[in-house]
Amino acid sequence: MTVPGLRLIRPRLEAEAGVTLTEMLVVLVILLVVLAGMTTLFTSASNSQVDQTNRVEAQRNARLALDSVRREIRCASAVTAVSASSLTITLPGYCQKPATTTAAPFTWCVVGGSAPYALWRYGGSSCSGTGVKKAESLTANSVFSYNRAAVLPAPTLTGSATGGTLGPGTYVYDVTAVDAAGKESSGTAASVTFATGSTNSVTVSWAAFAGAVSYKVYGRDDGSATVEGLRQLAATSTSPFIDTGTPLTSLTPPLGVTAPPLGTVAISLVVDQTPGNTSQRFTLTDDIVLRNSGRG
């Protein structure tokens, strides 16, 4: 019995025609070329994604680090040391997290022997101990500069146990020079300490400064324990000035209100994952005013 259509199918089943080895090799070579190209494309895309993610993360960390150091500098009661790669500040207790009852030093510094560098924050007055990395991929380790050059030398302070109303404590004074155009030059702070007594007074003396038409005397608090900082006690054209302890509230404005020129800390964070290629270099700069310090 013959199945219908079998005669039509049999020749096809018995045919021995097919793909030659050469044709198969050509097809395999073409497939390998295509797969190699696709693999290279996928690998490049994956590496690019990882690189871009790292760049964005480094830039985000730099922004957060700048914001953090900005807030701490503005709240600091003292700037005790500044170099191109480190900054040591004193934070009052209420500026710390968690808040404490005592002030403490903190140091921001750039770590690394060569690029890329990292910005760290340490508890203490040096770049050692327990620290937290705040930013990375920095191209330079010179990031800080203190912009308040002392022009006048520190005044000479002579303490007396009589003639005033100053009690025990440390009193800080700063004398600045004012030229004919009204520009005020920075001075250098000096301090005197009274261990006892309640009628103490301080004589503040200074040498004449070239170009000065008058001087401003500031005292008595250096801002290390409170946020007030130095306040103007007198405006005079001659030396000396004797501080008898007159309350600041009794001085005629603007005396007792104004303060010496504030210092600023300039910060420059240059972030780059590939220092040799500057096409995606990211730079953050700021000139941060020392609101509660930098007067002495």
User: What is the DSSP secondary-structure string of 244-284?
Assistant: ----GGGSPTTTTT--PPPPEEEEEEEE-SSTT-GGG-EEE
Q: Is 16 helix (H, G, I), strand (E, B) or coil?
A: coil
How many whole angstroms separate alpha carbon 159 and alpha carbon 191? 10
* Cβ density class 122-153: b for 16+ within 10 Å, e for less: beebebeeebeebbbbbbbbebbebebeeebe
How many whole angstroms separate alpha carbon 129 and alpha carbon 203? 43
Q: Say if CB 217 and CB 173 are below 8 A apart.
A: yes
Q: Please indicate, yes or no, whether the overall pTM of this predicted structure exceeds 0.95.
A: no
What are the tens digits of pLDDT across the range 68-91? 999 998 888 778 778 899 999 989
Q: Which residue has the tokens 């401003």?
A: 216
Residue 222 has pLDDT above 70, yes or no: no
The domain spans of the chain are 52-148+263-289, 156-250
What are the tens digits of pLDDT across the range 94-153? 888 888 999 899 999 999 988 889 999 999 999 998 899 999 999 999 999 887 766 788
